[in-house]
Chain A
């Protein structure tokens, strides 16, 4: 397909008079245009056919071994090849994918191919927005670009969101430089500026990017929804655009993934609970394993809910700053609820043991939530763990010894 070139001073008018496609001068730039490649021939409506009519022919952009994403609306031709033009409205598939990822289902595989995308009708002076190749990051960016013409440079962050990837150094200086060079960005845009999300800053050194690939890094706002205002405001971010929030909705949405991470170890722990519950003066009792084990399992699961569900939701209202203490508080309430619910079906000693179990489990689960918050420092987490973990270990060892000993005592 022939590429059209225009004098860049005439780019708006599309005047090609001064430029030939063979010997265009340095002032000539490629015109961005939608590609119109020949498609397979139309099917004659009158052709003899059984069943429903055949669907449309394959897109000229279909390639063997690839499947087109539903968010690709079209392709635009640039000097570095055809670049996908993406839709800004999320579809049902996107929402379903978001729910799956939020539940922790195949989350690590929910990613798109790194490289260059376009949104709207970008030209060579349009901004370049950089993001991660986690599909949720990509979706939260593109949904805000309804009225924006821009290029989107997607880094290979191994399917991890911008901030976590910056912490893990997959959203990094090296990766920005690599993708800029890989896609040939200097041939797509005439300016030399990249707009990166502010939360990518832990992984990217602006001065190193500038030094190694010539592109200046401009730190955009934290949230994609502030991008249009940021772009229209001369790249100026209001103070609030640069500050994190951690609302109840932002906290609650993290809970399912936290729970999904606990499922596997919990199955092993529950198995141990049932086995330990069966140890009796008659060596092993299957009925004790089942009935006492159920009580233990309920206490354990209430501990998980108290620590991994109620602590995130109630976070700002729970006293004390250490998460393990917040977990002890919710765990005590949950444990008291458990012991009251079980009532006379357990001995007083067993009630106390179950209360201790729920509290210890809740404390540990709450402590793990530190990794999901945007305000806990590693030094602080380590400090509270040095206090919390010994307490949790003592509690759990006490629970195990007392739980096994209880049938012998009574």
Chain B
């Protein structure tokens, strides 16, 4: 069971582009619902980031934040895809991985 849970799969620390602007947060709790890694904890009245390094930059929180308080650079965490972005021009069509 121990190796089932996502808490045992940690990736690199201090790399995520996730940022939360607490000023803009209205505490609706949507980020806490959509995040599959329990990065946020929503306590009255606002959300806060409790596990920044668990973020995989999927972008679910930012897409569903009604006040655009969350920013993250979402992307495809796939090596083959990233290699193509290095090789080809930015506007080139890139094959999916």
A190 on interface, CB distance cutoff 8 Å: no
6 A-B pairs (CB sep. < 8 Å): A206-B30, A246-B4, A371-B78, A376-B56, A377-B16, A379-B15
CB proximity of B11 to chain A, nearest CB, Å: 5
B27 contacts across to A, CB distance below 8 A: none
Query: Measured between alpha carbons, how far is A205 from B66 in the docked complex, in Å?
Result: 9
A194 adjacent to chain B (CB < 8 Å): no
Q: Assuming A166-B58, A243-B5, A368-B97, what are 13 further A-B pairs, CB within 8 angstroms? A: A167-B76, A207-B66, A237-B33, A242-B36, A316-B8, A317-B3, A368-B79, A370-B77, A371-B77, A377-B12, A377-B77, A379-B57, A380-B16
How many chain-B residues does the 8 Å CB contact rule pick out? 43
Q: Count residues of chain A with CB under 8 A from any CB of chain B.
A: 47
Chain A positions within 8 Å of B, measured between CB atoms, are: 166-168, 198-199, 201-207, 219, 222, 237, 239, 242-248, 261, 315-317, 321-322, 367-368, 370-371, 373-385, 389
Chain A residues near B64: list those with CB within 8 A. Answer: 201, 204-207
The main secondary structure of chain B at its interface with chain A is: loop
For A378, list chain B residues within 8 Å (CB): 57, 73-77, 82
B11 touches A243 (CB 8 A): no
* Complex Cα gap A291–B81 (Å): 35
Q: With A244-B6, A246-B6 as given contacts, are A376 and B36 in contact (CB-CB < 8 Å)? A: no
Q: Taking A167-B74, A168-B96, A248-B3 as contacts, is the C-beta distance between A377 and B55 under 8 angstroms?
A: yes
Q: Please name the residue on chain A nearest to B85 by beta carbon.
A: A382
Q: Measured between C-beta atoms, what is the minimum distance from B12 to chain A in Å?
A: 4
Provide the bound-state CA to CA distance between A262 and B9, in Å: 25
